[in-house]
Structure 1
Amino acid sequence: MKFKIDKFVLSIIVVVLFAYLFPQFGSKSSPIPLDKIGSIGVSLIFFFYGLKLSPEKTKSGLKNWKLHLLVQVCTFLVFPIIILCFHPLIHSEYDKTIWLAFLFLASLPSTVSSSVVMVSMAKGNIPAAIFNASISGLIGIVITPLWLGLFLNNTAASYDLGDIYIKLIVEVVVPVILGLLLHRYWGNLAQKYNSYLTLFDKSIILLIIYKSFASSFEENVFSGIDTFDFVIISVAVFSLFYLVYFLTGFLSSKLGFNVEDKITAQFCGTKKSLVHGTVFAKILFPNPSAMGIILLPIMLFHAFQIFIISFIATHAANRKEAQLSYVRNK
């Protein structure tokens, strides 16, 4: 079985390397207004997100409520609770920053496109995947800042939850609502050119990642992370994924889900969105130099989830095809 590295993951690696070699373009003195471009890009991302979100499909998707509830509970409750268990281990500012980066990862919504694609590949419940992936992004607009606000509001003098929510409303909520209102007029057009909109989304994400890591490299933020720490962070990310994946599978079995619903629960309930992570980090963390460390776990998680879920999806599809072939030949 052959695996190809995801082009977006490869692009992230190239952008981080470029930020390391040429951090000056992302510095405060840079003549290129990357912050303003990023802010406008974030608003457009969520405008297109609302434009593509069908109210009719969202309403019809509410029927399978047990599956939806499990996916959203795993996404927004199980993940953060696991990370909260490690809060007593914080002994320094460095530990606190790494822990906040993991809490940020844990509180993010699920992915949209990759969740649906992987569920489709594994022959899972596609309509439920579309519903959960779509609704997760909307829930995350409220839940993610709330989780971070519980700790940042009390620990960071520069963190003002009121200002954060105003910025969040202006850059995220208003564009989503505007997109939803215009769905009936431009929704079909957005679906038709979805591949171009996805390319635009990824381009803005790469720009924000460059800006974040350029600032971090310029201020030597990563000087405290050695090879051993990087390995520990990587292992923690992988362990977090597997723990929630198997826990979601266990709960799916206890709830009596069929194979298709179990696939959807495990695939959607364990995914975390790098798109939301990058744009939320830009809004939630006012210090651009700290964003490099904040984004590190979600970037590792993104690469890992694509690889392992692709493997699991391919295996599940082959197994189901073999079962159908056996039934036909019997």
Structure 2
Amino acid sequence: MRSVKLPIPARLPVDGYILALLGTVGLAALVPATGAAAPVADGAATAAVAFLFFLYGARLSTREALDGLRHWRLHLTVLACTFAVFPALGLAARGLVPYVLTQPLYTGLLFLCLVPSTIQSSIAFTSLARGNVAAAICAGSFSSLVGIVLTPLLAALLLGEDGGGFDADSVVKIVCQLLVPFLAGQLLRRWIGPFVTRHRGPLGCVDRGSILLVVYAAFSAGMAAGVWHQVSGVRLLALLGVEAVLLAVMLSLTSYGSRRLGFDRADRIAIVFAGSKKSLAAGLPMASVLFGADASLAVLPLMLFHQMQLMVCAVLAKRFAAQAAPAPAAVPGPGPAVGPRPR
């Protein structure tokens, strides 16, 4: 019998990459990079972050970005959700400290609210829900591009000393590790763009492997600093509850807000999925630059939120697709009998 490939939402809604990340965290807990191995791991993670943002720059098509500007209302709506509404909700959660969240967990939650939106999963869910895929591509790309500059600036403004301090050295690190590689990728895209496009699969594995290296270095430093003694099971459950409320609020705001703004159904779907999600791929490298040795605890809320948004959005995408499916045509019944009427 031929095997049937199930659609994405029908599968077990657990991201395999999250399992790989958790495995990396476990490896760092059991065999952390300490002593002479610590600077080697840090140097490798720094190089991995630079390479990641170089690839991001090489992949972003300038023509697609310029074409997408024609749908500026949609993109401004997504950017406002990502970099205004999310941070406002994060600041409002400050009242949960210390009763619900510890200060380090709140710092991670606020950082989660500052990172850009996703690209790949927003596109996938928008396509599955029969929304405006082109708008989702441009919205995710714009969010990632703006986030390279805006996320560190917002972190400097809102996190302050909780972000490990933000001084001239921090600015230099951000420019050298994030912005310069990205611009280099954009400048070289003319020559390397076709190669990057043809080898998207293998380079995607390099992407994910680089992020795993960043996670290993960050959690190794966290183990050496003893940050995990600050987290209890009760606090983790409380964090999950807070993040569930945060996701529900953003999904509601993007859904009803886009309807009130007059967007059509396809555009509303793109706004819901691009405006309510956060990028793990962009957030993890940024956290390693901004938080240093404290990055392990700072990225924990982002990792949990990433898995939660995938599970919830998979269900929503399936529901949107079902609503868009045309009703099955009625089967014609037998016509009226032909013959003389009864007298």
Fold conserved between structures, TM > 0.5: yes
Find out whether 1:298 has 2:305 as its counterpart.
no
TM-superposition CA deviations, 1:170-215 (whole Å, max 9, x none): 1111111111112222212111111112111111111111222222
Instruction: Show structure 1 runs of 5+ residues with no match.
Output: none
Find out whether 1:190 has 2:196 as its counterpart.
yes
Distance across 2 between alignment mates of 1:329 and 1:148: 60
Q: Which residue of 1 aligns with 2:187?
A: 181
Distance across 2 between alignment mates of 1:270 and 1:193: 30
Distance across 1 between alignment mates of 2:96 and 2:324: 44
Q: Secondary structure of the residue that 1:160 maps to in structure 2?
A: coil
Of residues 2, 12, 20, the one that matches 2:29 is: 20
2:218/2:295 contact within 8 Å kept: yes
Specify the code of the residue in structure 2 equivalent to 1:116: I
Q: Secondary structure of the residue that 1:85 maps to in structure 2?
A: helix
2:41/2:217 contact within 8 Å kept: yes
CA-atom RMSD in angstroms: 2.1
Q: CA deviation at 1:27?
A: 2.0
Q: Which has the larger radius of gyration?
A: 2
Q: Percentage identity across aligned positions?
A: 31
Q: CA deviation at 1:318?
A: 2.9
Q: CA deviation at 1:32?
A: 7.1
Q: CA deviation at 1:327?
A: 6.8
Q: Which residue of 1 aligns with 2:53?
A: 46
Instruction: Show structure 2 runs of 5+ residues with no match.
Output: 1-9, 333-343
TM-superposition CA deviations, 1:62-117 (whole Å, max 9, x none): 1111111111100011011011113245459x833222111100000011111111
Distance across 1 between alignment mates of 2:149 and 2:296: 23
Distance 1:316 1:329, change over 3 A: farther
1:1-330 maps to which residues of 2 (within 5 A)?
Answer: 1-23=10-32, 26-30=33-37, 33-90=40-97, 95-154=102-161, 159-286=165-292, 288=293, 290-321=294-325, 323=326, 325-326=327-328
Specify the code of the residue in structure 2 equivalent to 1:278: L
Distance across 1 between alignment mates of 2:139 and 2:158: 27
1:153/1:161 contact within 8 Å kept: no
Distance 1:89 1:3, change over 3 A: closer
Q: Which residue of 1 aligns with 2:337?
A: none
1:110/1:268 contact within 8 Å kept: yes
Distance across 1 between alignment mates of 2:220 and 2:259: 46
Distance across 1 between alignment mates of 2:118 and 2:89: 20
1:104/1:294 contact within 8 Å kept: yes
Moved over 3 A (4+): 88-92, 151-156, 325-330
TM-superposition CA deviations, 1:13-60 (whole Å, max 9, x none): 21112222222xx22432771111111111111111111111111011
Distance 1:155 1:112, change over 3 A: closer
1:274/1:298 contact within 8 Å kept: yes
Q: Secondary structure of the residue that 1:285 maps to in structure 2?
A: helix
Q: Secondary structure of the residue that 1:111 maps to in structure 2?
A: coil
2:114/2:151 contact within 8 Å kept: yes
